[in-house]
Chains A and B, each alone.
Chain A
Amino acid sequence: MLSTVVFWIAAALAVSGAIGVVATRNPVHTALSLVLTMLSLGVLFLLLHAEFLAVVEVLVYAGAVMVLFLFVVTLLMAGVKPPKEEHHLRLAYQTLIAGLFGLILFVLVLHSMTGAGWVGTLASPGAGSFGSIASFGTALFTRYLLPFELTAVVLLVAVIGVVVLGREQE
């Protein structure tokens, strides 16, 4: 009962955050709407017994990645003007076409998920240690060790790339 109420509140907040991402003018408001969506998703992860992922989502995604976004938005947008209203490359009725595309995509996604056979109710209550740090660590360091090491390489590449890109161009 309580989980149903929490689910619907979190879902409503997530969708309103998503609409905020798409509809607001000010980039800072866009970033804040996305943070709202991420926090709601954190709550939903908790409902799905993914405790470690909920904390990682809030800690890394909402707490570091979005702060980085806000850094760039507040510094970069300080002196530039917003996009021009009329542009020679802009398609007419752009919003309408995008909305139609969205509807078609929604139908297609739902159809593909129905085909995957989701049952009405959850199969079994999660075993005690599902989604905990211990089970996550066990899986990460035994069965999925290679992707973990490759992720380390990806992060190293990203750090080097950012340092190179951020240098003063002479």
Chain B
Amino acid sequence: MLTVILILVKGLITAVLLLSAFGLMTWVERKVLARFQFRPGPNRLGPAGVMQFVADGLKLVFKEEIIPTAADRVVYLMAPFISLTAAIVAFAVIPWGPPIHIFGQTVSMEIGGPNIGILFVFAVTSLGVYGLILGGWASANKYSLLGGLRSTAQIISYELAMGLAVTGVLLAAGSADLNTIVAKQYHLWFIVPQIVGFIIYLITMVAETNRTPFDLPEAENELVAGYHTEYTGLKWAMYMMAEYINMITVSGLATTLFLGGWHGPWLPPEIWFLIKVAAFMYFFIWLRATLPRLRYDRLMAFGWKVLLPVALLNTLATAVWVAVAR
């Protein structure tokens, strides 16, 4: 019974933290993008414009909800929920600190999933794809449908390379449990032996979250806005929440798999975890400010013809090395 209560409490704290991080991220992104472009960014509401997020949230809540007449109502209303739920649930297995001792119990800083850690994240992000394709279809709009299908095809293509890049780490660590993987990085972070895997993971991480340079399916001058064209108000906000929380989740996963999780010299481990995740988020914004967009067919060709073979070779090399070294 105590286990169940602990899981519920940890889940609640994680969900609240993720949603607050979303709010913070919108402000950070606008400010950093503005700085990259030599302009001030939001600076009217609150100190340095921090309250902009609150104002945006209130605006979205009070916005008029327009639902297309020909839309399939149940699926239309369900799709953003699926995206958001998958994004939040995927964070459940990422340990953001070493096990702590409360009330004489050892509580590990993740919600569950003993020995299938990484696979759980992949399974749940695969389910998040449904939010895109159903949103695109339920909007009864050709451009939404095409945008949704494009986004979905891009995500499931890059999922393969991501899985193979992570398999290299799995082989090097000998376990799929994220706690074990973090523990094995005590002496050497996995970014050093798995540098190829890390680079592949970085690229696929950006493609998985539909961020620039892989955001053709939702760019404004392409298919209007892709799968979320017909969504207004809170439902659109849910799609945005899902996107940012996905970014946080893949950053958290990158930290855990390649940058040693919560290991670090003299700061508390949770702070180290935050710093590393923040570094990845800055990387996302940096890419958005700097790189042009990839055309969709070149994007898919890159994923299948370049990343997938390289990831396969990396997995093969890691497997050979592990087999020889044991």
Direct A–B contact in complex, judged by CB atoms less than 8 Å apart: yes
Known: A71-B149, A74-B145, A74-B149. A59 touches B122 (CB 8 A): yes
**Which partner residue on chain A sits nearest B176 by CB separation?**
A133
List A41-90 residues whose CB lies under 8 Å from chain B.
51-52, 54-55, 58-59, 62-64, 67, 70-71, 74-75, 78
Contact A64 B116 (CB under 8 A): no
Q: Does A123 touch B at the CB level, under 8 Å?
A: no
Does B120 interact with chain A (Cβ within 8 Å)?
Answer: yes
A78-B115 Cα distance, complex, nearest whole Å: 43
Task: Name the residue of chain A whose CB is nearest to the CB of B4.
Answer: A2
| Distance from B305 Cβ to chain A, minimum over Cβ atoms (Å) | 15
Q: Which residue of B lies closest to A42 (CB)?
A: B123
Q: Are A133 and B116 in contact (CB under 8 A)?
A: yes
B interface size (C-beta, 8 A): 25
Q: In the assembled complex, which residues on chain A have CB atoms less than 8 Å from the CB atom of B72?
A: 26, 28
* Distance in Å: Cβ of B181 to nearest Cβ of chain A: 13
Q: Given A67-B129, A133-B115, does the pair A59, B123 have CB atoms closer than 8 Å?
A: yes
B122: which A residues are within 8 A, CB to CB?
55, 59
Are B116 and A51 in contact (CB-based, < 8 A)?
Answer: yes
Supposing A55-B120, A133-B115 touch, asked if A67 and B176 sit within 8 A by C-beta, the answer is no
Q: Chain B residues with Cβ under 8 A from A138's Cβ?
A: none
Q: How many residues of A contact B (CB 8 A)?
A: 24
Residues of B within 8 Å of A52, CB to CB, are: 116, 119
Say yes or no: A74 contacts B115, CB within 8 Å: no
Question: Are A28 and B126 also in contact (CB < 8 A) when A55-B116, A55-B120, A64-B156 are?
Answer: no
Q: Bound state CA distance, A125 and B134, in angstroms? A: 41
- Which residues of chain A have C-beta atoms less than 8 A from B287's C-beta? none
Residues A74 and B120 in contact, CB atoms below 8 Å apart = no
Contacts of A58 in B (CB 8 A): 123-124, 126-127
Asked if A18 is at the interface of the complex by the 8 Å CB criterion, the answer is no
Check B149–A75 contact: CB distance below 8 A: yes
B209 interfacial by beta-carbon distance below 8 Å: no
Give B3's nearest chain A residue, CB to CB: A2
Residues on B with beta carbons closer than 8 Å to the beta carbon of A29? 75
A132 contacts partner chain B, Cβ-Cβ < 8 Å: yes
User: Interface code A5-32, partner B: CB below 8 Å = 1, 0 otherwise?
Assistant: 0000000000000000000001011001
Q: How far is the CA of A2 from the CA of B8 in the complex (A)?
A: 14
B133 close to A (CB within 8 Å)? yes
CB pair A63 B126 closer than 8 Å: yes
Does B152 belong to the interface (CB within 8 Å)? Answer: yes
A35 within 8 A of partner (CB): yes
Find out whether the CB atom of A74 lies under 8 angstroms from the CB atom of B4.
no
- Of B75, B130, B134, most buried by chain A (CB within 10 Å of CB) is B130
By the criterion CB–CB under 8 Å, are A67 and B116 in contact? no
Q: Which residue of A lies closest to B148 (CB)?
A: A74
Kindly state whether residue B137 has any CB partner on chain A within 8 Å: yes
Checking B116, B124, B133 against A70 with a beta-carbon cut-off of 8 angstroms, the contacting residue is: B133
Contacts of B127 on A, CB cut-off 8 Å?
A: 39, 58, 62-63
Instruction: With CB as the reference atom, state the residue of chain B lying closest to A75.
Output: B149
CA distance A55 to B114 in the complex (A): 12
Question: Could you tell me if B149 and A28 are in contact, using CB atoms closer than 8 angstroms?
Answer: no
Instruction: Tell me if B152 and A71 are in contact (CB < 8 A).
Output: yes
Within 8 A of B (CB), among A122-136: 132-133
Within 8 A of B (CB), among A73-115: 74-75, 78
Query: Which A residues form the contact surface with B (CB < 8 A)?
Result: 2, 26, 28-29, 32, 35, 39, 51-52, 54-55, 58-59, 62-64, 67, 70-71, 74-75, 78, 132-133
8 nearest interchain CB pairs?
A63-B126, A58-B123, A55-B119, A59-B123, A74-B137, A51-B116, A55-B123, A55-B116
Chain B residues within 8 Å of A, Cβ to Cβ = 4, 72, 75, 114-116, 119-120, 122-124, 126-127, 129-130, 133-134, 136-137, 145, 149, 152-153, 156, 176
